[in-house]
């Protein structure tokens, strides 16, 4: 079974051969012009798909550029929330933005056990 790319190449090969080597002849009860008209809907669809692929690539690039511009400002905004006297590191806004409030952070301090100690109390 052929894929779309193989079909497109094969169609173009047949059209080019007929147009170049026997443009005035008809085969299978069909002229070259009729055969070209038969191929046109597929060719138009291919052209539209290529245009849409290009447009999609353009839109993906626009989206990525917009994300980059947005995230370039995130640190400034978050620092502004941290420094704001009515918001700060313990605010709901800070947490809603995806950060951990200062009051909810673990200290990071751990006490290591000495060799031979156990957790049981006697």
Q: In this predicted structure, what is the pLDDT of residue 110?
A: 77
In a domain, 110, yes or no: no
pLDDT of residue 91: 94
Cα Rg for the chain, rounded, in angstroms? 34
Residue 88 falls inside a structural domain: yes
Total domains in the fold of the chain: 1
pLDDT for 18 equals 97
Backbone angles phi, psi at 112, to 5 degrees: -85, 140
Task: Confirm whether 108 is domain-assigned.
Answer: no
Amino acid 1: pLDDT: 56
From residue 30, give the alpha-carbon distance in Å to each of 14, 15, 23. 14, 13, 12
Is residue 115 in a domain? no
pLDDT value at residue 122? 53
DSSP 13-48: HHHHHHHHH-TT--BTTB-HHHHHHHHHHHHHHHHH
Q: pLDDT value at position 117?
A: 67
pLDDT of residue 94: 93
Domain span at residue 46 reads: 8-100
Name residues of the chain where pLDDT drops below 50: none
Phi-psi group of 114: left, alpha or beta (phi > 0 → left; psi -120 to 50 → alpha; rest → beta): beta
Q: For position 2, what pLDDT does the model report? A: 80
């Amino acid at each position: 079974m052929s894929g779309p790319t193989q079909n497109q190449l094969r169609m173009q090969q047949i059209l080019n051969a007929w147009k170049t080597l026997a443009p005035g002849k008809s085969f299978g009860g069909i002229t070259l012009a009729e055969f070209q008209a038969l191929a046109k809907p597929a060719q138009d669809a291919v052209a539209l798909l290529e245009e849409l692929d290009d447009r999609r690539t353009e839109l993906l690039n626009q989206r990525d550029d917009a994300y980059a511009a947005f995230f370039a400002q995130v640190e400034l905004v978050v620092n502004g929330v941290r420094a704001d006297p009515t918001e700060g590191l313990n605010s709901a806004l800070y947490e809603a933005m995806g950060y951990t409030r200062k009051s909810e952070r673990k200290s990071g301090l751990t006490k290591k056990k000495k060799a031979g100690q156990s957790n049981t109390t006697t």
